[in-house]
Amino acid sequence: MPDLPTPEPTDGDPGRLLKNENAVDDKDQHFMGMAIQMAKLGAGAVEPNPMVGCVLVRDGLVVGKGYHRKFGGPHAEVEALRSLESPEQASGVTAYVSLEPCCHYGKTPPCAQMLVDAGVSRVVVAMADPFPKVAGGGLSLLQSAGVETTVGVMQAEAEELNAPYLKLVRDGRPWVIAKWAMTMDGRIATASGQSQWITGPRARDQVHRLRARVDGIAVGMGTVLADDPMLTARVKNDHFDASLPVTGRFVFCQHRLPSVESKLVRSARDVPVTLVVGPEVESEHLAELEAAGVESIFLASTESTEMVIEALQLLGQQRMTNLMLEGGAELLASFFAADRIDECHVYLGPKLFGGQAAKGPIAGVGIDRIGDALQFRLVSSEPFGNDLRAVYRRVICEE
């Protein structure tokens, strides 16, 4: 993971005091919507940085646009300014940016100062950036230079887009995506344990696209022993920048370790594999696994729920933005019990398995009362032939 400073949680909205009271009109909504759509093009390439888009407008016409393409590369504002036919075109334009322009030197110069130097007269921002080195400083820089600023245009949409980044900055841990495929009667395997395949090729292709976008894929030892998976992203007809980080593979090992003959271990030198090791693991052949290229994270916790909480904090310190769970019912049960599932991708296949012994997606003891259920909201649903994918995000109920 990139070596960036670990952010501290911030109290409240750092841009709240800088937000002016300009009315948001349809024009601002329209162009900010364009900037947010541009930002989405950076998904999977910019983490742990946020996805950001920028649109430059003069007299109601777009004259330049850009987005943050990959981690360490130019920011959206720079890309937009570079897209102009000439630098002079920036004078007097309105810049629509989906996140507060940065004000510090990192891997790139401060974007807020570049907008000032270019002669931009107005900057419309969807949301303030809670990252401690920005946290309203970009807006202050713009305002002190006489640039008109408007903050909060399509803020909810911008926060939705960068929810994993915000989770990392505010909570210090990665965004967790739980993915599973199940039958119409809620089974992830038959009574004998067969699970391939519940869904068809088109739905499985979408899973590989998600794998290519996240920072890490996690399974438990039960899945390793039962399926001997590779957990690599095999995406057809897509072109990925070879310089971008490869999705890492993580195995939660509470009691056991994988065999050196497993597909994960045999491919560890090509695609990173990290073992998340509890103190109860028989560690005699850890040295052999590490000699094969496997890395390890050692936990102090012995209980599965505490292991999840500890592991996510350690991964957050390594600047991991999002982690996808492809483990079986036991691993999902641990994350469920720890209340550490932020998003679910549920694939529904047109099959019925039946049987009391056929597993559901989440094991464990579960809950006793419906009122204690974790609450989610439907974000999207999409059919793939006879299969259906539904995406849900966690709803945090305020006490």
- One-letter amino acid of 284: E
> Tell me, what DSSP letter sits at residue 68?
-
Active-site position among 8, 21, 47, 77: 77
Count of Cβ atoms closer than 10 Å to residue 200 Cβ: 15
C-beta of residue 205 within 8 angstroms of C-beta of residue 310: no
Count of Cβ atoms closer than 10 Å to residue 21 Cβ: 5
Structure tokens belonging to residue 96: 């629509």
Q: For this structure, is 77 an active site residue?
A: yes
43, 47, 51, 56 alpha-carbon torsion, rounded to 10°: -110
Nearest to residue 280, comparing CAs of 259, 252, 261, 260? 252
Count of Cβ atoms closer than 10 Å to residue 125 Cβ: 28
Structure tokens belonging to residue 335: 């994350």
C-beta of residue 173 within 8 angstroms of C-beta of residue 48: no
Nearest to residue 192, comparing CAs of 379, 62, 382, 353? 353
Residue 68 backbone phi and psi in degrees, to 5: -70, 110
Between 137-144 and 111-118, two packed helices, what is the crossing angle to 10 degrees? 20
Three-state secondary-structure class, residue 211: helix
Alpha carbon distance 343, 267 (integer Å): 29
Residues in the chain: 399
Structure tokens belonging to residue 219: 């399974």
Q: Give catalytic residues, as residue numbers.
A: 77
